Amino acid sequence: MTNTVISSKSKDVIIGFDQPFAVIGERINPTGRKLLAEEMKNGDYSRVEADALAQVAAGAHILDVNAGIPLADEPAILAESIRLVQAVTDVPLCIDSSIIAALEAGLEAYEGKALLNSVTGEEERLEAVLPLVKKYGCAVIAISNDDNGISEDINVRFNVAKKIVERAQDHGIPVSDIVVDPLVMPIGAINSAGTQVMELVQRLRKELKVNTTCGASNLSFGLPNRNGLNTAFIAMAIASGMTSAITNPLHAEIMQSIRGANVVMGHDPECSDWIANYRAPAAEGEGRRRRRSRRRG
């Protein structure tokens, strides 16, 4: 049983084997969102704040914050985004950048124990990111690709994860502060992409005893009805032991699937979270029936 604790100034979120699945909201990310990118670049963070509030309202436990805008001052924009998101919500944050200086600026601006996104098995990245993780005492997402790229062989991906965990230990970082992303491939191209993830998650959990995460929506790349497929996949990943995902909590189907999976896993005692979220629609039906019988009466 491994618990990864991520904190804001006032709140802890536990990613863990016996915990409800942790939803890391992915929306604060200018990649592919031209308007958001333009606004962030011009110092307008109103949409960042609105996205933060909407995702928390929809059930996100942690928010990913990314400021990857070409030709912009990413470290400054990421730090400012993190300051502002912290001001409007109390959920812990995931600091997301491919640029080391931006990760460090984000960590400087953050109050609490962040989740850093991410380290890979690439030598240069390992030696740049792990000292930051140690210095700031944060947790880190470990993506299982290395200097040879992304392998289609799950044994290779497992071994990359193992290497990162071992290297982290060399830096004094406990295994409970590593959350492995086994990498989700598009199943339209690789028919075994789904079973690969399920097998890897089971092995990572059993053999390395690490928590896991993924970008769940990669699976459905190029296919119709992506949400429908992602919905089935995320429940199946949870059944295999996945403990968190970077996803869009504004998709009601995805959140329903995650909440349903929590019930099935026994991680929603008394089904109280399920009932709190879905009582309303049922009550509507009930209400309609009641109203009808009143009319009859």
248 binds its own copies (CB under 8 A): no
Stretch that binds its own copies, among 106-114, 117-125, 138-146, 268-276 (CB under 8 A): 268-276
Nearer to its own copies, 76 or 232 (CB): 232
Q: Among 16, 59, 194, 249, which residue sits at the site for its own copies (rule: CB under 8 A)?
A: 194
Q: Among 44, 271, 287, 290, which residue sits at the site for its own copies (rule: CB under 8 A)?
A: 271
Residue keyed to tokens 């019988």: 293
Q: Among 223, 289, 290, 291, which residue sits at the site for its own copies (rule: CB under 8 A)?
A: 223
Region class of 60: left (phi > 0), else alpha (psi between -120 and 50), else beta: beta
Reduced to 3 states, what is the DSSP secondary structure of residue 44? Answer: coil
Please give the Cα distance from 25 to 144 (Å, whole number): 21
Look up residue 204 and give its amino acid.
L
Nearer to its own copies, 18 or 207 (CB): 18
Q: Any idea how long the chain is?
A: 297
240 neighbors 202 (Cβ within 8 angstroms) = yes
Please give the Cα distance from 76 to 78 (Å, whole number): 6
Stretch that binds its own copies, among 31-39, 72-80, 102-110, 226-234 (CB under 8 A): 226-234
Stretch that binds its own copies, among 35-43, 90-98, 112-120, 225-233 (CB under 8 A): 225-233
Interface pattern 139-158 for its own copies (x via CB under 8 A): --------------------
Q: Residue 84 burial (CB < 10 Å; 0-12/13-18/19+)?
A: middle
266 binds its own copies (CB under 8 A): yes
